[in-house]
Amino acid sequence: MTGTSNRSVERAFKIVDELAENGAGGVSDLAGRLDMPVSTVHNYLQTLVSTGYVAVEEKEYSTTTRFLEVGHQQRHRLEIFKVVSDELQDIAAETGEHVTLMIEENDQCVIVAVQEGPDAVNLFAYPGARMPLHAAAPGKAILAHMPDDRVQEIIDRQGLIEMTNRTITDSDVLFEQLEQIREQGYAIDEGERIAGMVCISAPVLDKNDHIRGAICVCGPQSRIDEGRREEIADIVKRSANVTQVNLDYV
């Protein structure tokens, strides 16, 4: 692909990202938000409309549910998603809390499935939401089962962004914690991504010990206190193990 073609793709997705993150807009409005010529934005929008990924109504452009269709199709191709649904429901019922399945994709932690128990706090989590690996329990559970050199490459590319005042931003501290996670079989995030929330996550490995994802339970610190953490850790480890066994038969 030529440099011009590369730039064209980048510009198209820049427009899509802007619409997705900051909402609909007219051509001039979007051109100002993106610091791009009006004519350029107009041409890209017309192409995106013709492909069905952007819609226009009363001269306002917005992304369409075509992206939802693509994401839904991709999610159902994931072997781990095919085998984890019942486990997430059981964990949510047993703990009453917010339960997610996450995977690593392009150096980020991505939510694949969400299940809310009767007491779950609304975290505005949804399939496709992304977050830094180092700042979330499932991300750390995943990193702990990657080779150290790959973890370092991710740190070099993504940095260690501070999400709260409890986020790990020192790579030496992170590597020490990853070693502890491998030893104990689960990861804990104590307000490292969302202040006041505690998340406990166990990795899902396949029969070759390759990391496939992580199952996570999140709840308010007031409910997931010291006495309850071991209980939840045992639950997520058990479910991760069941999911691992099921993966062998997909």
In sequence order, what are the residues at sequence separation of 6 or more whose Cβ sits closer than 8 angstroms to the Cβ of residue 12? 44, 47, 48
Asked if residue 107 has pLDDT above 60, the reply is yes
Between CA 78 and CA 201 the distance in angstroms is 19
Helix (H) / strand (E) element for 204: namely strand 197-205
DSSP state string for 70-124: HHHHHHHH-HHHHHHHHHHHHHHHHH-SEEEEEEEETTEEEEEEEEE-TT-----
This prediction's pTM: 0.86
Confidence of residue 85 (pLDDT cuts 50, 70, 90): confident
- pLDDT, mean of residues 34-46: 95
Hunting for tokens 């997430």 — which residue is that?
A: 88
- pLDDT, mean of residues 69-86: 87
Which pLDDT belongs to residue 4?
Answer: 61
Between CA 25 and CA 243 the distance in angstroms is 43
